[in-house]
Amino acid sequence: MLNQRAQHLRAALPAGFEAALIGTPQNRFYLLDFDAHDAGHLLLLPDKMVYVIDSRYIEAARAAVQNAEVLLEEDAFKQIASLLKGAGARRVYLEDGIAVAEATRLKEKIPDVEFDTSNTLSSAIMALREVKDEEELARMRAAQDITDACFAHILPFIKPGAREIDLALEMEHYMRANGAGGLAFETICVAGPNTSRPHGVPGEYRVQQGDFVTLDFGAKYKGYCADMNPHGGCGGAWRGKTPCVWHCSAGTHGGHCSRQSGVRRQRSGQGGAGVDGVLHQGVGVGVSIDPAVRRGAIPVAAPGENQERQRGREEGDFGHGQSLSKPEESPG
C-alpha cells in the first residue's frame, strides 16, 4: 500500500506510469521518513513501494519504515530487475541528478528496461515537496527552537580566553542534549581575524575583548534542519539573522525570497545586550540546507521586530524550492 506522499507522486507522473527509482537521500527521506544517508534503493511501483537496503540499516528500516516493503540488499540490480519484471514494468523514471556512473550501471545490468533520465521524476517530487504538511512544519519549528535556545545558552561562554573549538563543542553538545537528532551542518564559530572567512573552521584561536565573533549553526530534528547565523562582539551587542528562516528560491522559482517559520526573540547577551538586526542573505532550510541559494530580493526586518511564522519554500541540496503557505502569528 502506498502512503499519501507516494500516491500523490504516482498521480503526478505521466499517464501509463510503471515504475520510478528514487536514490536522492532527501527524496527517499521525504517518501519513507527514514534516513539511511546515501544507502539503499527505493522503487516506486503503481501499487507499492519497495526499499532495498543493506545489512547496516536493515533492522532499523524494518522497524521504522511503514507503507513500504523492506528487502535486505543482496544484489541490488538483480533484485530491482526481478521486481520490475514481476510488475511488468518496461519504463522506469530516474531522478535527473543521478550520477552518470549509476545510470550507466543500471542500463548495463537491466538492459530490457528503458530508463528515463529527464527531469520528469525530479520535477514531480519537488512540486509535491513545495507544500509542507503540519508534521513537517512542527519539526522545522522544533529544530529552530533548539537552535534558538542554543544561542541563548552560548552567549555567557563567549568571553576573553575562550577557544573557538571549545565554544563550537559546547554548542553541539547543548543541541544534542536538548533534543537534536544531529547537526544541520558543521558548526562555525570563529572570532577576531578568522571572521573574514564566512565558512571558517573553529580552531585554537582564543577570543579577545572586543573581538568580532561569527556563529553559524543549526539543529536537525527528526530529519529537518534549522540554520542561525548571528554575529557580534565579545562584550558588545549581537546582530544577526532572525532565527532561521529566511530563504531564497532559485532557478525555476524565479528568484523569489520569503520568510520561513521565523521568530525573532530578544535574548539577553553580555552587558544586557539583546539580539536585533537585519538579514543580509538567506539560505534554504528543511530536509537539507543549501547555502548556495542566494538569489532574489531579501526582506529586511527592523531591529527587534517580531517576524511572522510563514510557510515558505525549502531549498534542497540541488537548488530546488519547497514552499510553505498560510502564515500564522508567531509567539512573541
Digit-coded pLDDT (tens) for 261-302? 232 222 222 332 333 333 334 455 666 655 433 333 333 333
240 and 140 belong to one structural domain: yes
Last residue of a domain, one of 129, 148, 173: 129
Does the structure show a pLDDT above 70 at 59?
yes
Identify whether 331 is part of a domain.
no
How far apart CA 319 and CA 234 sit, in angstroms, is 36
49/228 Cα distance (integer angstroms): 36
* Domain contains 326: no
Checking if the pLDDT of 210 tops 60, the result is: yes
Q: Which of 246, 261, 276 is the last residue of a domain?
A: 276
Helix (H, G, I), strand (E, B) or coil at 3: coil
Same domain, yes or no: 125 and 144 = no
The last residue of one of the domains, among 73, 101, 129, is 129
Residue range 130-170, pLDDT digits in tens:
788 899 889 999 999 999 999 999 999 999 999 999 999 99
Each residue of 20-55: pLDDT tens digit? 999 999 999 999 999 998 899 999 999 999 999 999
Q: Report which of 95, 34, 113, 37 is spatially closest to residue 68, judged by C-alpha positions.
A: 34
Q: Looking at the structure, do residues 68 and 194 belong to the same domain, yes or no?
A: no
Structural domain count, the chain: 2
Averaged pLDDT of the chain: 76
Domain that holds residue 165: 134-276
**Contacting residues for 79 by C-beta, under 8 A, at least 6 apart:** 52, 71, 73
Residues 229-267 have pLDDT tens digits of: 888 888 766 655 433 332 222 222 222 222 332 322 222
Based on the fold, state whether residues 107 and 142 are members of the same structural domain: no
143 and 271 in a single domain? The answer is yes
Please indicate, yes or no, whether residues 211 and 120 belong to a single structural domain of this protein: no
